[in-house]
Amino acid sequence: MLDTINYKALGRRVREKRREQGWTQEDLAERCDVSLSFIGHIERGTRKASIQTLVALSDALSVSLDYLMADSLVSPVGRETPISLSGDKKKVLREILEAFTNGVEKWND
């Protein structure tokens, strides 16, 4: 069970990986198709990111979602619960998100 997401820790990891790439916040924002200010908020841990944005960040930074969320994955007994969403699993998640998005758009028509 996921209690809370540690957005400050997630933001530190995003900033660290972005800097390792030698990218500005603007570079990362363009790669993830989000605004520059939103990347700043993510890195400071002051805004929540959707699963789509988290997937885009992990793709752009070439890291797994479990790496970005390592401090957030807490089980009911307070132990870290590792999840791995890389490779085929990430592709399946992306397909599910795409199907959901397309379904929502059809529903609203």
Could you report the per-residue pLDDT of 38-84, keeping only the tens digit for each? 999 999 999 989 889 999 999 999 998 888 888 775 544 444 444 55
Is 51 inside a domain boundary? yes
pTM for the model: 0.65
Is 97 inside a domain boundary? no
Is 23 inside a domain boundary? yes
CATH number at residue 54: 1.10.260.40
Is 108 inside a domain boundary? no
Where in the sequence is the domain holding 51, given as residue range(s)? 7-84
Could you report the per-residue pLDDT of 8-20, keeping only the tens digit for each? 999 999 999 999 9
**Overall number of domains in the chain:** 1
d(CA 102, CA 28): 26
